[in-house]
Each structure stands twice: as structure tokens, then as C-alpha cells.
């Protein structure tokens, strides 16, 4: 397995662990080859999620505070250092015997207080748990955002980066092309050019199971594919247009009537192919 894929898996595992989000962000920036824009988006979402988790944990309060969150245990009391007897051998004032009358009074008071607690509405009793509900929805929102970002990253992981033309540097074409535009040097050896013929543009075609090349010269358009080679003189062209972001349609008229040719190009090459074919046609 490639090193980049290993660190990508470790990074995503850290994101899923939530508490290891800072480690995941560090690995993402220094060990993976993800795009910078994607890293910035994930860093922003991860930072907000981590801040929300830390704030949520710090806002936890014991159950005796009505504004806090009810915890699953009870406090039964005990003696503090101030309440404990100074002389363990001698009973403290609290340990003295209580008369039956006062004991009976204490029991009645405790029963009365329990009855009052039972009469408290449930909405009041559960008031302390409402903070948990609000915090949970905020936390769930950030989790969903993180899952969507990771899912989008996985979805585009298998896609190739932006296509690079192997025959010519397309950055040298200054679109829109002027009448006296100078064409860069095209390194395409598959086509045998006629005397005085100049190759203006070349790129690969991406039709599935029928890949090849597309070449434009100052005299013709040539389509190479696995099924054969098609040549169309520039003077025979009657229409050139893009059917989609990656399909160009060439319409030519000849002895057999009007024929249409469909060329499957990389999306980044479509604008150059259209511009150069039209420019060459105007010069033919």
C-alpha cells in the first residue's frame, strides 16, 4: 500500500475517533497529498467540532446545580472535617441520644418533604436535562458535517487530478486567439505531416474502450482511435460545436453527404480544441 494512502487512512481514523482530531489535522497537513482547498475546509470543520466538544465537556455540572446535567449517581452525605468529632472517644453532640418524641417529629418532617417532592411536576424535575438535549444537537450537527466532508473526499479520491496535455503546453495558447496568433511547438510524432503542413494542436481522446488522439493541423483534423484513423479536411467542415463538457461534434460535408464525428476530450482541453479548430478553419 502506498505511503500516502496509509496516512490518509490513519488521518480519517483520527477524525472518526473525535478526541484525536488535532492529531488527524496534523497528519493531513504534513503527510497527505490532499488538495489545499480540501485541507482548509476539513481543518475548519474539524476545529469547530473539537471546540464544540471541549465546550460541551467543560459545561458539564453536578446534578445539585439545576442548570447542569443530571449525572447517574446520588450523593448520600457524610461528615466533613468541621462536622467530625474532635475527640473520637467521646460522642459528639450529633451522636447524642434523641428522645422518641423528637425522633417521631423528624420522621414526620422527612415524610412531608418527600411528599412535597413527589408533587413537583415532571417538567421541573427534568429541567436539568434540557441542556444535554441542546448540546447533543449541536454536537450531532458537527458530526454530520464531518461525515459529509469525509464522504466527499472518499468519493473524489479515485478521480485523477486535472489532465495535463502530454503533447503541448496549453498555457502557451492565449485565448481568445488573435488573427496573427503564434502557435506553440507540438510534440506529436504519430502523424506524418505533409510538406509545409504544421501541427497546431494535439491531445488524447478519452472515449471508453476506444482511446486515441485528436490532432489539428493547418490543413486537416485527424482523429486516431483503436478502430482506425479519420481525416477531415478543414475546407470540408461546416460546423464545430461542443455537445457537452467533454464531447465535441464535427460536421463535415462530402461526396457521401453530411457526416458527423464525435470526439471525446478531457474537459480541460475542450476550450483549446474548439478555439484552435475554428481558428484553423478561418485560415484555411
Q: Give backbone dihedrals phi and psi of 179, rounded to 5 degrees, phi first.
A: -60, -35
Q: State the pLDDT at residue 137.
A: 66
Report the distance separating Cα 267 and Cα 242, nearest Å. Answer: 11
Domain locations along the chain: 3-61+134-157, 170-283
Alpha carbon distance 55, 142 (integer Å):
13
pLDDT of residue 279: 95
Mean pLDDT for the chain? 76
pLDDT at position 221 over 50: yes
Question: Is 170-283 a CATH 2.30.29.30 domain?
Answer: yes
Looking at per-residue confidence, does 133 or 245 come out higher?
245
Q: Is the pLDDT of residue 220 over 90?
A: yes
Average pLDDT over residues 253-274: 91
Q: At what angle do helices 36-58 and 21-31 cross, to 10 degrees?
A: 170
Mean pLDDT of 182-191: 93
Residue 71 has pLDDT above 80, yes or no: no
Q: How far apart are CA 168 and CA 252, in angstroms?
A: 26
Q: 3-class DSSP state for residue 273? A: helix
* Global pTM value: 0.48
Which range has the worst mean pLDDT, 10-14, 172-176, 200-204?
10-14
At 23-54, the pLDDT tens digits run 777 777 877 777 788 888 888 887 887 777 76
Edge-to-edge strands of the sheet including 257-264?
Answer: 237-242, 247-254, 257-264
Residues in the chain, overall count? 284
Amino acid at each position: 500500500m502506498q505511503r500516502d494512502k496509509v496516512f490518509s487512512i490513519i488521518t480519517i481514523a483520527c477524525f472518526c475517533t473525535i478526541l484525536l482530531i488535532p492529531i488527524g489535522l496534523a497528519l493531513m497537513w504534513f503527510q497527505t497529498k490532499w488538495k489545499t482547498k480540501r485541507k482548509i475546509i476539513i481543518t475548519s470543520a474539524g476545529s469547530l467540532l473539537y471546540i464544540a466538544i471541549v465546550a460541551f465537556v467543560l459545561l458539564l455540572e453536578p446534578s445539585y446545580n439545576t442548570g447542569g446535567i443530571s449525572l447517574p449517581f446520588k450523593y448520600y452525605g457524610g461528615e466533613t472535617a468541621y462536622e467530625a468529632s474532635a475527640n473520637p472517644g467521646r460522642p459528639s453532640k450529633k451522636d447524642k441520644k434523641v428522645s422518641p418524641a423528637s425522633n417521631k417529629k423528624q420522621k414526620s418532617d422527612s415524610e412531608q418533604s418527600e411528599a412535597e417532592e413527589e408533587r413537583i411536576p415532571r417538567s421541573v424535575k427534568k429541567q436539568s436535562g434540557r441542556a444535554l438535549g441542546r448540546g447533543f444537537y449541536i454536537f450531532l450537527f458537527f458530526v454530520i458535517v464531518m461525515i459529509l466532508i469525509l464522504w466527499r473526499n472518499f468519493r473524489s479520491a479515485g478521480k485523477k487530478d486535472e489532465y495535463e496535455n502530454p503533447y503541448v503546453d496549453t498555457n502557451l495558447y492565449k485565448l481568445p486567439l488573435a488573427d496573427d496568433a503564434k502557435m506553440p511547438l507540438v510534440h506529436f510524432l504519430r502523424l506524418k505531416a505533409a510538406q509545409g503542413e504544421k501541427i497546431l494542436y494535439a491531445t488524447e481522446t478519452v472515449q471508453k474502450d476506444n482511446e486515441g488522439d485528436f490532432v489539428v493541423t493547418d490543413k486537416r483534423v485527424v482523429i486516431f482511435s483503436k478502430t482506425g484513423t479519420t481525416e477531415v479536411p478543414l475546407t470540408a467542415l461546416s460546423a464545430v460545436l461542443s455537445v457537452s463538457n467533454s464531447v465535441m461534434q464535427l460536421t463535415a460535408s462530402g461526396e457521401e453527404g453530411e457526416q458527423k464525428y464525435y470526439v471525446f476530450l478531457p474537459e480541460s482541453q475542450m476550450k483549446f480544441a474548439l478555439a484552435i479548430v475554428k481558428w484553423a478553419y478561418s485560415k484555411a
